[in-house]
A and B are shown apart, each in its own frame.
Chain A
């Protein structure tokens, strides 16, 4: 059974800092991994999707990496802004496009 852990559970940084969110998983037999953003009480917004054959994906200030052999993915956010404040979730697709999620990292970026 796939288990997903996200560290840290919460993170508070001043505006402008670069930061890294971590996601680890127990079963490396995955098809892809998605990073999502969730604002309080809202749905999930997909940020980046990495296929199992890829090592990283970039979108603007976001960069996600995937190391299947070590069961880890990281989400790097450059030059953080207050608007980045949200909960970040990683979801692993191990088949049939169903996702297994971690509990998320709650990020607060202060002005």
Chain B
């Protein structure tokens, strides 16, 4: 157990809908990163939040957005869902946004878009 929790565990949506995924970071960690993992692929970096500010973004469109709260928990929002958004969404927390910091992953949220 890493101490990183995610909710919900599973989610089914239809194309065009919007979804919000949640992540609670490990105690004391101020950095949260989000990843998308399609079936049979490695995780792809979506974005990172450090002390409530976006601190880097991968190659994902603006309809993927996020938020980090004062307690360092985080949300991932996806608008106008597409079939290809079906994936396992992972969040990871780290103590700081530094080169040497280990990332601790949560169990993920499985999103299915019909």
Interface residues of B, count at CB 8 A:
34
- Which residue of A4, A41, A97, A104 is within 8 Å of B33 (Cβ)? A97
Counting chain A residues whose Cβ lies within 8 A of the other chain, the interface size class is 20 to 34
* A97:B106 contact, CB within 8 angstroms: no
Q: With A98-B48, A101-B43 in contact, do A41 and B102 touch (Cβ < 8 Å)?
A: no
- Cross-interface CB contact of B102 among A46, A95, A101, cutoff 8 Å: A46
- Whether B97 and A96, one on each chain, are in contact in the complex, defined by CB atoms closer than 8 angstroms, is yes
Asked whether A102 and B42 contact (CB < 8 A) given A32-B100, A96-B55, A96-B56, the answer is yes
Within 8 A of A (CB), among B66-114: 88, 90, 92, 94, 96-108, 110
Q: A96-B48, A99-B43, A103-B40 are in contact. Are A31 and B100 (CB under 8 A)?
A: yes
**Nearest B residue to A44, CB-CB:** B105
Is the Cβ of A89 less than 8 Å from the Cβ of B42?
A: yes
A34 touches B42 (CB 8 A): no
B24 on the A face (CB < 8 A): no
Q: How far is the CA of A89 from the CA of B58 in the complex (A)?
A: 19
The residue on A at minimum CB distance from B6 is: A43
Interface SS of A by simple majority: strand
Q: A43-B90, A46-B104, A96-B56 are in contact. Are A4 and B110 (CB under 8 A)?
A: no
Complex contact A99–B45 (CB within 8 A): yes
Measured between beta carbons, the chain A residues less than 8 angstroms from B110 are 41
User: Would you list which residues of chain A between 53 and 107 have a CB under 8 Å from chain B?
Assistant: 89, 91, 93, 95-104
Given A31-B100, A36-B105, A97-B48, list of 20 further CB < 8 A pairs? A41-B88, A41-B108, A41-B110, A43-B108, A44-B90, A44-B105, A45-B105, A46-B102, A91-B103, A93-B99, A96-B97, A97-B31, A97-B94, A97-B96, A97-B101, A97-B102, A98-B45, A98-B58, A99-B33, A99-B45
